[in-house]
Amino acid sequence: MTPGVDAPTWPDEFAERYRRAGHWRGETFGGMLRERAVAHPDRIALVDPEPERRTWTYRELDEAAGRLAAGFAARGIGRGDRVVVQLPNVGEFAEVVFALFRIGALPVFALPAHRETEITHFCSFSEAVAYVIPDVHAGFDHRDLATRVRRHSPALREVFVAGEPGPHTALSEVPRDPAGPLPGPQPHELAFLQLSGGTTGVSKLIPRTHDDYLYSLRGSNEICGVDADTRFLVVLPAAHNFPMSSPGWLGTLYAGGTVVLCPKPDPTTAFALIERERATMTGLVPPLALLWTDSAARGERDLSSLELVLVGGAKYSEQAARRLEPALGCKLMQVFGMAEGLVNYTRLDDDPETVVTTQGLPISPDDEVRIVDDSDRDVAEGEFGHLLTRGPYTIRGYWRAPEHNKSAFTEDGFYRTGDIVRRTPSGHLVVEGRAKDQINRGGEKVAPEEIENIILAHPSVHDVSLVAVPDEYLGERTLAHVILRADAEPPTAAQIKAFVRERGVAAYKIPDLVRFVDAFPHTGVGKVSKKGLRSVAAFPEQP
Ligand code: OOB
């Protein structure tokens, strides 16, 4: 563990190899934005269309980030400090993130959907000194949430609000004239902490460095053809790794293109923006891709600017994939990635069958991919098995999680993705399933243990097990099997859901279905059989 990094990093021989190969070029995010601002100051970097259309040229974004960095620094936020950023797709997101990059403070990327339980955990576990929020988003007042979070987070000194601050500090009060350049981070140091989808009770934090993440952007841009003419529409939450870097809004800024923020992902909002802003590229999870494909048939908007749509985050069915290109009049690319690192794309010159039936090839020739059996032995070529990976942008360990790292990584540094894949003769990966205890609800990841722990706290509940059930639209939905205490007042399914909601978790984690049972099926070794539960899951919900 390198001091100050709080996580295992690449051994020197690997770091040297990645530098020699030209993957790690010694760039930082702060430096990157400055260079673009010098090279093409007046090009539009960012468009935030709501409520009134606002734009930032590269020079304006660079200056805004510099002034905000100076203001944050004046308030004592320094290099290595953690700052939980929970902003929706608004222009301030980019200003805040680049300001923190410039200081060398580490954004911790929370999703707008996260609530008290998650945010309190992120703030306390990361010992965050500040938390950045919108005032009200999607009808929810984040200022009240921040007040509650503050009570349980002793390290949290500041709450900054994009909008009306209430009892907190307005983000607009922070910027000031920079006194001079800030020392800033080194390229091999951490840039930010991403959240893992998680298989345990709480999300793990994923430490990404400037060197490694910038390489994944450069590689993604090359594969997707991102350049200064790209107009990338950010439809998914900007904090998620997929719309951030595959190739995403950071990739687009790296290439000198234009990022258009989409406030809501529905076809009505997004199609109007594509037409008005002439968006050329976007990334979608499969349920949204389905919705867009169906809506495009109505032909109410001019989508002719669209050149490429990336679909990933969860398995995209072959049937749905076949319909996208004709409906949207653009190319499809599948992407199979993870916030821990490895990202695979189908290629622009792949034949159409490969694009609809596989999840692509890794970005880098130095991405090492192993497909192994339960004993970590390589399976025969073409067989399916567990995907292990290491490479120039895949982490070697989670942040401050030495115990978990022992099982999440092999001794020689491969990340155990928990995905079951096979490789086609062309080297493309096909995702066949999952070995990890995680539910993929249309790209949003739910760790059953996290929700089981909450339901177990209900006074009438004796035991609970959360499993995935197939769903035509989302791919998977969540089903909680609940065993009640013999002597307790039996709650209804709705009361169990309300109980989870009241604990303050993201809405997508509230069980879709609740079923009361007398016992769980067990495996041979006495563990609850999730497979057994999934197979009895076809029964209707009980009141
Ligand atoms: C992306 O990142 P995460 O960290 O939210 O989730 C990663 C997991 C993968 O391990 C896999 O289980 C699943 O999401 N997944 C897919 C998939 N893409 C991701 N499963 C099947 N087919 C796909 N195409 O989800 C993510 C990060 C960067 C780019 C794209 C997605």
ipTM of the complex: 1.00
Rounded mean pLDDT of 332-347? 98
Q: How far apart are the first and last CA of the chain?
A: 51
Closest residue (by CA) to atom 9 of ligand 1?
338
Residue 55 within any structural domain of the chain:
no
Q: Which of 194, 216, 336 to mutate to test the pocket of ligand 1 (most atoms within 8 A of CB)?
A: 336
Largest CA distance in the chain: 72
Task: For residue 165, report the distance from its CA to the centre of ligand 1, in Å.
Answer: 35
- CA separation, residue 401 to residues 123, 279, 291, 404 (Å): 16, 41, 39, 5
Q: What is the CATH number of the domain that holds 475?
A: 3.30.300.30
Q: Do residues 483 and 471 touch, judged by C-beta distance below 8 A?
A: no
Residue type at position 6: D
Q: Which of 338, 342, 393, 437 to mutate to test the pocket of ligand 1 (most atoms within 8 A of CB)?
A: 338
Cα–Cα distance measured from residue 426 to residue 236, given in angstroms and rounded to the nearest whole number: 31
Closest CA to 344 of 369, 373, 319, 317: 369
Cα–Cα distance measured from residue 433 to residue 423, given in angstroms and rounded to the nearest whole number: 13
Task: For residue 246, report the distance from its CA to the centre of ligand 1, in Å.
Answer: 11
**Is the shortest distance between the CB of 339 and ligand 1 below 6 Å?**
yes
Q: What residue has token string 């169906």?
A: 294
User: Based on the number of CB atoms within 10 Å of its own CB, is 149 exposed (0-12), middle (13-18) or buried (19 or more)?
Assistant: buried
**Is the shortest distance between the CB of 431 and ligand 1 below 6 Å?**
yes
Token pair belonging to 7: 């996580």
Task: For residue 129, report the distance from its CA to the centre of ligand 1, in Å.
Answer: 30
Predicted confidence (pLDDT) per residue in 161-193, tens digit: 999 999 999 999 999 999 888 888 999 999 999
Task: For residue 105, report the distance from its CA to the centre of ligand 1, in Å.
Answer: 27
Whether a cis peptide bond, with omega within 30° of 0, leads into 51 is yes
Predicted confidence (pLDDT) at residue 541 exceeds the cutoff of 80: no
Residue 519 within any structural domain of the chain:
yes
**Is the shortest distance between the CB of 337 and ligand 1 below 6 Å?**
yes
Task: For residue 171, report the distance from its CA to the centre of ligand 1, in Å.
Answer: 33
Residue 276 within any structural domain of the chain:
no
**Is the shortest distance between the CB of 251 and ligand 1 below 6 Å?**
no
Predicted confidence (pLDDT) per residue in 467-509, tens digit: 999 999 999 999 999 999 999 899 999 999 999 999 999 999 9
Region of 181 (left: φ > 0; alpha: ψ -120 to 50; beta: rest) is beta
Closest CA to 42 of 64, 29, 61: 61
Looking at the CA of residue 311, tell me the nearest atom of ligand 1: 24
**Is the shortest distance between the CB of 8 and ligand 1 below 6 Å?**
no
Closest CA to 450 of 184, 200, 182: 200
Structure pTM?
0.96
**Is the shortest distance between the CB of 419 and ligand 1 below 6 Å?**
yes
Predicted confidence (pLDDT) at residue 245 exceeds the cutoff of 70: yes
The pLDDT, as a whole number, for residue 87 is 98
**Is the shortest distance between the CB of 313 and ligand 1 below 6 Å?**
yes
**Is the shortest distance between the CB of 131 and ligand 1 below 6 Å?**
no
Helix (H) or strand (E) holding 212: helix 210-224
Residue 507 within any structural domain of the chain:
yes
The pLDDT, as a whole number, for residue 182 is 85
Residue 27 within any structural domain of the chain:
no
**Is the shortest distance between the CB of 314 and ligand 1 below 6 Å?**
yes
Cα–Cα distance measured from residue 183 to residue 202, given in angstroms and rounded to the nearest whole number: 34
Q: Do residues 484 and 462 touch, judged by C-beta distance below 8 A?
A: yes
Closest residue (by CA) to atom 20 of ligand 1?
314
Predicted confidence (pLDDT) at residue 117 exceeds the cutoff of 60: yes
Helix (H) or strand (E) holding 273: helix 267-277
Looking at the CA of residue 310, tell me the nearest atom of ligand 1: 30
Residue 347 within any structural domain of the chain:
no
Looking at the CA of residue 438, tell me the nearest atom of ligand 1: 12
**Is the shortest distance between the CB of 239 and ligand 1 below 6 Å?**
no
Mean pLDDT of the chain, nearest integer: 95
pLDDT band at 92 (very low <50, low <70, confident <90, very high): very high
Rounded mean pLDDT of 140-160? 97
- Non-local (6+) Cβ contacts of 340 within 8 A are 196, 206, 394, 395, 415, 417
Cα–Cα distance measured from residue 65 to residue 95, given in angstroms and rounded to the nearest whole number: 5
Predicted confidence (pLDDT) per residue in 188-199, tens digit: 999 999 999 888
- Helix, strand, or coil (residue 266): coil
Residue 454 within any structural domain of the chain:
yes
- For residue 475, the enclosing domain spans 439-535
Residue 56's DSSP bridge partners are: 46
What total of structural domains would you count in the chain?
A: 1
Residue 494's DSSP bridge partners are: none
Predicted confidence (pLDDT) at residue 3 exceeds the cutoff of 50: no
Rounded mean pLDDT of 89-111? 98
Cα–Cα distance measured from residue 335 to residue 311, given in angstroms and rounded to the nearest whole number: 6
Looking at the CA of residue 286, tell me the nearest atom of ligand 1: 24
**Is the shortest distance between the CB of 358 and ligand 1 below 6 Å?**
no
- CA separation, residue 536 to residues 249, 433, 514, 521 (Å): 43, 19, 13, 10
The pLDDT, as a whole number, for residue 4 is 55
Cα–Cα distance measured from residue 243 to residue 260, given in angstroms and rounded to the nearest whole number: 12
Rounded mean pLDDT of 503-516? 97
Residue 75 within any structural domain of the chain:
no
**Is the shortest distance between the CB of 241 and ligand 1 below 6 Å?**
yes
